[in-house]
Structure 1
């Protein structure tokens, strides 16, 4: 697996307009944090294309009551890893996806400016699939190779950068298994 011009080579892409340019530091991008999230739409349900629609700004509020509360939100992530391990990329790593919201890591705010966001299709309390762990390890290793400032200590959950607001990837995420798989 390779990254070319911010995109996973031979990866699956999905339309997304919810992103903008990252700020540059001394003329280059400062990408040094990987943030792991979870998402399911509707909550607790897997396998539909509602997440893709949500990130594309095309979520139909008539399809589920929950969607009426979120369909106008402008959010995105760089990647989604489906339950079957399929990886979908929405935003180039060179651009700023809108996944972290109000956030801080080691005293630095606005984590979207310097992070890559990966969504796992799941919930805080549902075990993630073996295929997801395999895909997450492969993608993480590729990202770490391409962006060497992202080290093991700079891979965090959304709960770590927004602890008062977020709980994902949740208690079901096996950090030990994941860390061992990328070492």
Structure 2
């Protein structure tokens, strides 16, 4: 597992540079109108194949919420309300961009922590997604305090010179995102 973690960290290096650039810009630009920020964000988080109105709504919401501490539940509800789409992954990414101590909902992260997304066909998917996100947050809380979590953080810090610019949760998030089959 040590080698897998080391490989994941090394694989994450290009993404870490992109992430740090995004996080540097989010507070400096109007994300609702800054095309360079939006392109970088869309590339990093693989936001694609959406209608122009979706992008406009999403980035307007991000700009509106800057400076606050939005919750996943509130953003999931707002995204659904204004776009009509169930978007747990992109809701979490918006939250994690504005609150760097919040986890990202991603297929690789979910798989690596033994969680599954609610079915898109479920009538209770929004409620279930909120519960699942709480499970994800709880997993990080327990993992970060564990010996294994401490080991991962130490490895990350040894390999990434800019490690002080990232929360411990984000370090683990980036490792999990790279652990793919």
Query: Under TM normalisation by the shorter chain, which class is it?
Result: under 0.3
Query: Which structure features the higher share of helix residues?
Result: 2
Give 1 or 2 for the bigger CA radius of gyration: 2
Q: TM-score, normalised by structure 2?
A: 0.27
